[in-house]
Amino acid sequence: MHAAATLSLFALAACATMNARPFLPSRDFGIAKDGSPTTLWTLRAGGVEVDVTDHGATLVAVRTKDRAGFAADIVLGFDDVAGYESAANQYFGCTTGRVCNRIKHGEFELDGHHYVLAVNNGPNHLHGGATRSLDKVQWQGEVVAATPAAQAVRFTYRSKDGEEGYPGNLDVEVTYTLAANGQLTIDYVARTDRRTPVNLTNHAYWNLAGAGAETVLDHVLWIDAGKYTPVDDTLIPTGAISDVAGTPLDFQKPLPIGLRIDALIGTPTLGYDHNYVLRKGDGLRQVATLQHRQSGRSLAIETTEPGLQFYSGNFLHGQQGKGGRSYALRSALCLETQHYPDSVNQPRFPTTLLAPGQTFRSTTRFTFATE
């Protein structure tokens, strides 16, 4: 009887272990304006720590070490959900969509229907809308891996038919995975019951010297792109695809960001705010690197996407972020993997249309290193 009881207890324990949900440290992140409680999860692996929250499926923090072994948070953000719902937030670290970047005049034609979206950036639609874009809503978060090999949190959200003017119910999944080697991978999946445009990215603002450091103009950037999409005075692509060679946009060799930015400050982009046409490749491939030589930190970006928006933080204005740090003009930059802006109105660009029965998939991976 004693042996049988012991075996039964062992079997129950094994069953409980098999059925246990993976666990990662989490904490309250505040109450959103709509009354929703929000949560912050922390992933730790390979000497890197990552914080993510269910408000906007947002990347809140990335902590890595410099060559002297000191850790710093290298992305901009806020200490709680109230910051992300404030006027100081400029899409810091969020999942951006349904359609990231701009749509001309907030309008498009699809399947015989004329769709009108919010105009929230001059005369145009930006980053999915004004009140119910993906960065402003509450997602459902779930820990899906918590092992020595990988830690992962998956966020899910249903954007209902007509939300922000877009057609179709869109079911979206965003999974952040931190691997044992310290690589951070973001996987996007979306499905719809009606044809609709989809273009998803993460809007992290990076400063490898540490969030709150005064500039990114001393960072060295390489982008694997020989072409870009020129824009009009409202930053809508003209439809042309032009060479970067001979322009301040050429980062085919690693160069300091501040080297030629003065030539762009008097233009409508106010600095760098350009979509790069990445060289084609199969699946996930490396498309950009960022280095901060003083700290020794570097960042490599891989993606499955055809485009990359390089934005040099031209509208940062000294707002206070995490720990009371001030985010000055051009004190951080964005490298947003994406399809091209306004693709729904540009037949020459790779399509952003998703149909019922299809699955949208996109992956971007960040590799952190110290030199």
Hey, which residues are catalytic here? 203, 336
- DSSP code of residue 199: B
Q: Which two tokens stand for residue 57?
A: 């499926």
Pairing status of strand 242-243 against strand 201-202: unpaired
Residues belonging to the chain: 371
Half-sphere exposure of 167 (CA within 13 A, CB side): 19
Instruction: Name the residue among 85, 82, 44 with its Cα closest to residue 65.
Output: 44
Helix (H) or strand (E) holding 13: helix 2-19
Which amino acid is located at 15 in the chain? C
Half-sphere exposure of 201 (CA within 13 A, CB side): 32
Instruction: Name the residue among 249, 255, 301 with its Cα closest to residue 275.
Output: 249
Instruction: Name the residue among 260, 362, 363 with its Cα closest to residue 312.
Output: 260
Half-sphere exposure of 65 (CA within 13 A, CB side): 10
Half-sphere exposure of 247 (CA within 13 A, CB side): 17
Radius of gyration in angstroms for the set of CA atoms belonging to the chain, rounded to a whole number: 21
Task: Please report the sign of the dihedral spanned by the C-alpha atoms of residue 333, residue 338, residue 340, residue 344.
Answer: negative
Provide the 3-class DSSP secondary structure of residue 263.
Answer: helix
